[in-house]
A and B are shown apart, each in its own frame.
Chain A
């Protein structure tokens, strides 16, 4: 009898777990909440889809890093408000987040990752119909990847628009631009008498950096510290803390943090080993023909606004705009969410 009871309990537990698995998707188009996988070139890559699918407008969001994950960006009020109006697709990218696969280290390249994004676009058209409108939005490293999508073959034809947010489409220029940005903003802050010791020591160290090589190890870490100082002195807005539990929920309840951390770090290193630090698509930006919105923070010390200016000058599309967020650093969607949603929605609704 006890054996029979044990087997019934086990059956109930199995049923509960299976029910949990299949209940993780919602077919309600007005409130999409599902995960699909894209199998492409020996990788299985998850895309987390949330929001209003009845709009027939899908934003593919490419996370930063490299080494991040799609759901890292489902934070703050900006994502909630975009999801109210559109469907937002948080893509994990090859080797990152919960993506898995079996391929060689040599295959971890920006070009193949761009082909993965193209595969995702095809899947979305296959699943939701050819009438849907697709927009690609890439932040930071996601800007590197998104720009590569835009300049590769006919990939851009699948999209109604390209939104680059603080995008590092030219890594050597990103490095040198960050140094120049440190020099400019550091000098301004010293003149104003703000955080003197921090800015003076930063400028001393930055002025010693070799601009003939690319090494982000010091400047990236220092840039985020600098943004905190600028926030303390009232130049950059506080980070949007609406729904502060969402990032924690995504981190612990949705993603396996051990897997995402180890996989992301490994993939980032493989990208660097395969030449990421000398990667640039600046010379190919002239092939971008579709409407483009460029968004940069005035105080971005990671990817300087000068990259936005370069992109604006090079992109061939006549429908292009650079919007500088005056009270933001590297993540304008978090520090000026109202304006971010307004600018992005305006661009999407126009196209």
Chain B
């Protein structure tokens, strides 16, 4: 487990370095290429939550099809913080770190594939009592439990022209909570939100 935490922390540190590099490496207009995202997150509308983060485009490649239409592929590093409220049960919080492959067609419609191998999820429990091996009971303050939580996701979206709100998107996340009880728990979550920037979208 210590080894796992070390890997997660190393990756987060690496991501921090990439972001710092991105901040210092501003584009020609003098503004950072970093984009921000914020959205609803949950497994249904009754398990509400929020997710937000930053995205740093690492590489972009445009291909022109025989029909003359352009297809753009963006390779993006992303870091997200999110949480949700599971009524009568717990609050889940997570840190996601991963990569996004985003395809944009000439009508600005986007398909997103994401892989986040080094995520961490923590459940914060309501009133919790610990019972030890001798049967002694004590109330725990801020009881919680953590899981390694890698995820994959697929989403659709649409770029907006010449606005700071770059795009809106809808994603389906499949997250694995490891360990969960005596096994693994797959968890389905939906995300609907926006991606925005400090500068207007000049890509369309």
Contact = CB atoms under 8 A, between A and B. Distances in A.
Do these two chains interact? yes
Interface of A: 10, 13-14, 17, 20-21, 24-25, 34-40, 43-44, 46, 48, 94-95, 98-105, 107-108, 118-119, 122-123, 125-127, 252-256, 258-259, 262-263, 266-267, 270
**B50, B181, B188 interface centre (most CB from chain A within 10 Å):** B181
Most interface-central of A21, A94, A126 (chain B CB within 10 A): A21
A46 B89 contact: yes
A15 to B, nearest CB: 12
B87 A105 contact: no
B143 interface: yes
Nearest to B133: A41
Contacts of A255: 88-89
A252 B89 contact: no
B131 A40 contact: yes
Closest 4 CB pairs of A and B: A119-B131, A126-B137, A37-B128, A123-B129
B135 interface: yes
B185 A262 contact: yes
Nearest to B123: A100
Given A37-B125, A259-B185, A44 B143 contact: yes
Contacts of A262: 185-186
7 contacts: A14-B50, A44-B128, A102-B181, A103-B181, A107-B182, A256-B47, A258-B188
Overall SS of chain B's interface: strand
B186 A39 contact: no
Contacts of B126: 21, 24-25, 35-37
A91 B182 CA distance: 19
Interface of B: 38, 43-44, 46-50, 83, 85-91, 123, 125-131, 135, 137, 140, 143, 145, 179-183, 185-188
A258 B137 CA distance: 31
B192 to A, nearest CB: 14
B181 A17 contact: no
A252 B125 CA distance: 20
Nearest to A125: B137
Contacts of A125: 137
Contacts of B83: 17
A102 B179 contact: yes
Contacts of B91: 17, 21
A37 B47 contact: no
A43 B181 CA distance: 7
B87 A44 contact: no
B43 A256 contact: yes
B127 A100 contact: no
B127 A267 contact: no
B185 A263 contact: yes
Given A95-B181, A123-B137, 18 more contacts: A10-B50, A35-B127, A37-B143, A39-B129, A95-B182, A98-B89, A100-B145, A102-B145, A102-B180, A103-B182, A108-B181, A122-B135, A255-B88, A258-B187, A258-B188, A266-B181, A267-B181, A267-B182
Contacts of B46: 252-253
Contact of A122 (B88, B128, B137, B185): B137
A266 B130 contact: no
Contacts of B38: 10
B143 A17 contact: no
A108 B182 contact: yes
Nearest to B125: A37
Contact of A48 (B44, B50, B88, B137): B88
